[in-house]
């Protein structure tokens, strides 16, 4: 089993990565709390809950409906209702077993129940293992915007069992790989190259390769979060491709493309902008494009998407300050930077070139 520490002084916590670790009989046994409850959804419950041998979760569980559309206040209220009816006190612990949706809802419920209780993440999608379970962003959607209600609340531990990924649909797996490739582009050229060289092993879920993918991704994210927990400076780099990606998701209608697919196309477009901004080399852009193709990730915008509308949506993004969009661009593979000084026409050209 591998262990990484997210260093945040008193709020530091471990990330454990291994095979079959959720079936360890002693899992969560040492938590000093009578009140521990697990939150999951129907699908993950039927696939994986029985692997956890701790009997307490046969009874103490909250089962939510599956899907991004249930990432809302109603699901959070279901958790509050359960906790209050069962007299859960301030020393209770919630355990999130699921993808990013379950993790974000559970984390937000934990952040707000009785002004904050502990929670533990057991992520079950690749995206949640490499990204959403680490870093303490929690939240839900509002009818007027995605992730608009939320809080920073760090988990007490993250437990990653790579065996759980075996049931994950390929498309979901590849979408998670988009965030992994993103880490290589913003921080680690050698890791990017290693992914390209080992794509066959990664796709076939060779355990050692998958553990390396997750460990390296978590290390990169953990380092960035340790330096800038609240996203005031360097953590912004993790949003490479996201301003474009969110605009794609929004214009297409949420759910048509997976988040990872949208941001993959997004960081390829950001790479094209970087070439125009005289940073990234054309050959590096091609390397990024080829790696996306190896994981069946999109390298073109969705058909019939309206470029001008897409640009307008980008102006509504959280990263717009004084009417200027903050762009995160690769300097080369392994380094990224933030700039607001990009001419609108360069953006429109990069968008058109990917239509």
* Residue 90: active-site member: no
Given 182, 187, 216, 259, the catalytic residue: 259
Site for ligand NAD in 246-305 (CB under 6 A): 259
* Residue 121 interacting with ligand NAD (CB under 6 A): no
Taking the C-alpha atoms of residue 212 and residue 210, their distance in angstroms, rounded to an integer, is: 5
Nearest to 331 by CA among 270, 264, 245: 270
CB burial readout 56-67, b (16+ within 10 A) else e: bbeebbbbbebe
Given 59, 87, 115, 166, the catalytic residue: 115
Q: Which stretch binds ligand NAD (CB under 6 A): 119-127, 225-233, 315-323, 333-341?
A: 119-127
* Residue 231: active-site member: yes
> What are the phi and psi torsion angles at 151 (to 5°)?
-160, 155
* Residue 75 interacting with ligand NAD (CB under 6 A): no
* Residue 228 interacting with ligand NAD (CB under 6 A): no
* Residue 43 interacting with ligand NAD (CB under 6 A): yes
* Residue 189: active-site member: no
Minimum CB distance to ligand NAD, residue 325 (Å): 20
What residues contact 303, with CB distance under 8 A and at least 6 apart?
none
Q: Which stretch binds ligand NAD (CB under 6 A): 64-72, 227-235, 266-274, 313-321?
A: 64-72
* Residue 60 interacting with ligand NAD (CB under 6 A): no
Taking the C-alpha atoms of residue 247 and residue 226, their distance in angstroms, rounded to an integer, is: 29
What residues contact 149, with CB distance under 8 A and at least 6 apart?
73, 108, 139, 140, 141, 142
* Residue 155 interacting with ligand NAD (CB under 6 A): no
Token pair 């006190």 is found at 89
* Residue 48: active-site member: no
Token pair 């790989």 is found at 177
Q: Of the candidates 31, 37, 83, 99, which one interacts with ligand NAD according to CB under 6 A?
A: 99
Residue 137, classed as helix, strand or coil, is: strand
Nearest to 128 by CA among 62, 217, 46: 217
Q: Of the candidates 163, 172, 276, 296, which one interacts with ligand NAD according to CB under 6 A?
A: 172
* Residue 153: active-site member: no
Token duo for residue 315: 């102006």
Q: Of the candidates 16, 35, 41, 88, which one interacts with ligand NAD according to CB under 6 A?
A: 41
Q: Of the candidates 4, 36, 71, 247, which one interacts with ligand NAD according to CB under 6 A?
A: 71
Q: Which stretch binds ligand NAD (CB under 6 A): 63-71, 81-89, 194-202, 307-315?
A: 63-71
Minimum CB distance to ligand NAD, residue 279 (Å): 26
Taking the C-alpha atoms of residue 284 and residue 67, their distance in angstroms, rounded to an integer, is: 36
CB burial readout 166-199, b (16+ within 10 A) else e: eebeeebbbbbbbbbbbbbbbbbeebbebbbeeb
Q: Of the candidates 24, 66, 228, 317, which one interacts with ligand NAD according to CB under 6 A?
A: 66
Is residue 243 within 8 Å of 319, Cβ to Cβ? yes
Residue ranges binding ligand NAD (CB under 6 A): 41, 43-44, 47, 66, 68, 71, 98-102, 104, 124-125, 127-128, 131-132, 135, 137, 147, 164, 167-168, 172, 259
Which residues have a catalytic role annotated?
Answer: 115, 137, 179, 221, 231, 235, 239, 242, 246, 259
């Amino acid at each position: 089993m591998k262990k990484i520490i997210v260093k945040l002084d008193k709020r530091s916590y471990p990330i454990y990565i291994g095979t079959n670790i959720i079936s360890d009989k002693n899992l969560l046994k040492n938590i000093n709390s009578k009140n521990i409850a697990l939150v999951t959804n129907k699908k993950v419950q039927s696939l994986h809950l029985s692997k956890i041998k701790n009997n307490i979760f046969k009874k103490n569980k909250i089962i939510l409906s599956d899907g991004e559309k249930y990432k809302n206040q109603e699901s959070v209220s279901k958790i509050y209702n359960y906790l209050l009816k069962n007299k859960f006190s301030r020393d209770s612990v919630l355990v999130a077993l699921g993808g990013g949706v379950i993790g974000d809802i559970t984390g937000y419920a934990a952040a707000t129940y009785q002004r904050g209780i502990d929670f533990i993440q057991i992520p079950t999608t690749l995206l949640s293992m490499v990204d959403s379970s680490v870093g303490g962003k929690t939240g839900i959607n509002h009818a007027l915007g995605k992730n608009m209600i939320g809080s920073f609340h760090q988990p007490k531990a993250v437990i990653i069992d790579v065996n759980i990924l075996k049931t994950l649909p390929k498309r979901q797996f590849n979408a998670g790989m988009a965030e992994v490739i993103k880490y290589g582009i913003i921080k680690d050229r050698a890791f990017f190259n290693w992914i390209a060289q080992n794509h066959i092993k990664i796709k076939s879920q060779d355990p050692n390769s998958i553990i390396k993918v997750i460990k390296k991704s978590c290390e990169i994210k953990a380092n960035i979060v340790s330096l800038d927990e609240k996203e005031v400076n360097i953590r912004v780099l993790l949003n490479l491709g996201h301003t474009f990606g969110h605009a794609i998701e929004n214009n297409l209608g949420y759910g048509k493309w997976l988040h990872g697919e949208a941001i993959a196309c997004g960081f390829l477009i950001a790479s094209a902008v970087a070439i125009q901004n005289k940073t990234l080399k054309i050959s590096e852009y091609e390397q990024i494009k080829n790696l996306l193709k190896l994981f069946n990730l999109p390298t073109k915008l969705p058909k019939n998407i309206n470029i001008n509308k897409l640009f307008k949506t980008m102006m509504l993004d959280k990263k717009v300050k004084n009417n200027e969009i903050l762009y995160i661009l690769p300097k080369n593979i392994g380094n990224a930077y933030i700039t607001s000084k990009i001419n609108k026409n360069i953006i429109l050209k990069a968008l058109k070139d990917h239509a």
